[in-house]
Amino acid sequence: MTTIYHNPRCSKSRLTLELLHNNDIEPTVVEYLKTPLSQTEINTLIDQLDIDAIQLVRVKEAEFKEAGLTKSSTREAIVEAIANYPKLLERPVVVHNNRAAIGRPPENVLELFK
């Protein structure tokens, strides 16, 4: 099963979804702004991505400061902020076989299918 955490207003997210479709991959699409992720789901994503939590955050969004985050915030603080401000989630994120990749650039996600 493949899932894409998608924002249809984001060009990279749209390109990533198109790339998946062009490779005959039909993911489950989760529009995370409409269906925000829980703290547990965010922690799982960080583990699947194998990254530092801050790498999952869009630090240039106004909500970054609004949430009281800094680039040295704890994982716990970052996870809570993403749960409360879904717009902070870096996008798109594709999950396949318990591994994940951020689609920046979109081609990054193809590594999950090799």
Active-site positions read 10
Rounded CA gap, 108 and 102, in Å?
7
**H or E element at residue 63:** helix 62-66
- Provide the β-strand partners of residue 101: 94
Rounded CA gap, 44 and 22, in Å?
27
The sign of the dihedral angle between the CA atoms of 17, 20, 21, 26 is negative
Inter-axis angle of helices 75-84 and 39-49, to 10 degrees? 120
Rounded CA gap, 104 and 91, in Å?
8
